[in-house]
Amino acid sequence: MRTAREYNFDGLVGPSHNYAGLSFGNVASFSNVRSSSNPRQAALQGLAKMRALAARGFAQAVMPPQARPNFRLLRRIGFSGTDADVLARAYREAPVILACAYSAAPMWTANAATVSPSSDTQDGRVHFTAANLNNKLHRSEEHVQATRTLRAIFGDSDHFMVHDALPPVPAFGDEGAANHTRFAGSHGAAGVEFFVYGRVEFDPSAPSPKKYPARQTLEASQAVARLHGLDPARTVFASQNPEVIDQGVFHNDVIAVGNGNVLFYHDQAFLDEAGTLEALRRALAVVDTELLPVRVATGQVPVADAVASYLFNSQLLSKPDGGMALLVPHECRENEAVARYLDGLVAGGGPIDELLEFDLRQSMRNGGGPACLRLRVALSDDEARAMHQGVVMTEALYAKLVPWVEQYYRDRIEPKDLADPQLANECLAALEELERILGLPGLYDLS
Ligand SMILES: N=C(N)NCCC[C@H](NC(=O)CCC(=O)O)C(=O)O
Reply yes or no on whether the pLDDT at 251 is more than 90: yes
| Calpha distance 213→201 (Å, rounded) | 13
| Calpha distance 264→115 (Å, rounded) | 20
Neighbours of 386 (CB within 10 A): 18
Question: Does 383 reside within a domain?
Answer: yes
> Is-catalytic flag, 388?
no
Q: What is the pLDDT of residues 185-227, one digit of tens each?
A: 999 999 999 999 999 999 999 999 999 999 999 999 999 999 9
With a threshold of 0.90, does the pTM exceed it?
yes
List, in sequence order, the alpha helices (H) in 56-194. Answer: 71-76, 83-93, 95-102, 142-153
251 lines ligand 1 (CB under 6 A): yes
Atom of ligand 1 nearest to the CA of 133: 19
- Determine whether 64 is exposed, middle or buried from the number of CB atoms within 10 Å of its CB (0-12, 13-18, 19+): buried
Question: Does 89 reside within a domain?
Answer: no
Neighbours of 442 (CB within 10 A): 9
| Calpha distance 298→272 (Å, rounded) | 15
Contact by Cβ (8 Å): 12, 108: no
366 lines ligand 1 (CB under 6 A): yes
What ipTM was reported for this prediction? 0.99
- Residues 268, 270, 273, 279: what is their CA dihedral angle, to the nearest 10 degrees? -160
HSE-up (13 A, CA, CB side) for residue 186: 12
Reply yes or no on whether the pLDDT at 404 is more than 90: yes
Question: Does 161 reside within a domain?
Answer: yes
Q: Best substitution site from 10, 108, 136, 414 to test ligand 1's pocket, by max atoms within 8 Å of Cβ?
A: 108
108 lines ligand 1 (CB under 6 A): yes
Mean pLDDT for 324-339 is: 97
Question: Does 307 reside within a domain?
Answer: yes
Of all residues in the chain, what percent are helix, strand and coil, respectively (each to 5)? 40, 20, 40
| Calpha distance 173→201 (Å, rounded) | 9
- Residue of 127, 143, 180, 251 marked active site: 251
Reply yes or no on whether the pLDDT at 158 is more than 80: yes
Q: Which CATH number characterizes residue 380's domain?
A: 3.75.10.20
Mean pLDDT for 275-289 is: 98
Question: Does 94 reside within a domain?
Answer: no
Q: Residue 277 sits in which domain range?
A: 4-68+103-438
Q: Write the CB contacts of 338 (distance below 8 Å, at least 6 apart in sequence).
A: 301, 305, 306, 309, 311, 332
Tell me the average pLDDT of the chain. 97
Taking the centre of ligand 1 as the mean of its atom positions, its distance from the CA of residue 368, in whole angstroms, is 6
The model's confidence at residue 378, banded by pLDDT at 50, 70 and 90, is: very high
Atom of ligand 1 nearest to the CA of 32: 15
Taking the centre of ligand 1 as the mean of its atom positions, its distance from the CA of residue 243, in whole angstroms, is 20
Total domains present in the chain: 1
Atom of ligand 1 nearest to the CA of 371: 3
| Calpha distance 164→373 (Å, rounded) | 21
Taking the centre of ligand 1 as the mean of its atom positions, its distance from the CA of residue 366, in whole angstroms, is 6
Neighbours of 16 (CB within 10 A): 27
| Calpha distance 446→434 (Å, rounded) | 13
Taking the centre of ligand 1 as the mean of its atom positions, its distance from the CA of residue 21, in whole angstroms, is 9
Q: What is the pLDDT of residues 71-90, one digit of tens each?
A: 999 999 999 999 999 999 99
Q: Write the CB contacts of 297 (distance below 8 Å, at least 6 apart in sequence).
A: 267
Question: Does 83 reside within a domain?
Answer: no
The model's confidence at residue 34, banded by pLDDT at 50, 70 and 90, is: confident
Reply yes or no on whether the pLDDT at 107 is more than 80: yes
Mean pLDDT for 252-274 is: 98
Reply yes or no on whether the pLDDT at 1 is more than 80: no
- Residue of 141, 175, 193, 219 marked active site: 175
Q: Best substitution site from 9, 22, 244 to test ligand 1's pocket, by max atoms within 8 Å of Cβ?
A: 22
Strand partners, 113: 130
318 lines ligand 1 (CB under 6 A): no
Question: Does 76 reside within a domain?
Answer: no
> Is-catalytic flag, 175?
yes
- pLDDT recorded at residue 443: 98
Mean pLDDT for 107-119 is: 98
- Determine whether 157 is exposed, middle or buried from the number of CB atoms within 10 Å of its CB (0-12, 13-18, 19+): exposed
Question: Does 230 reside within a domain?
Answer: yes
Taking the centre of ligand 1 as the mean of its atom positions, its distance from the CA of residue 251, in whole angstroms, is 10
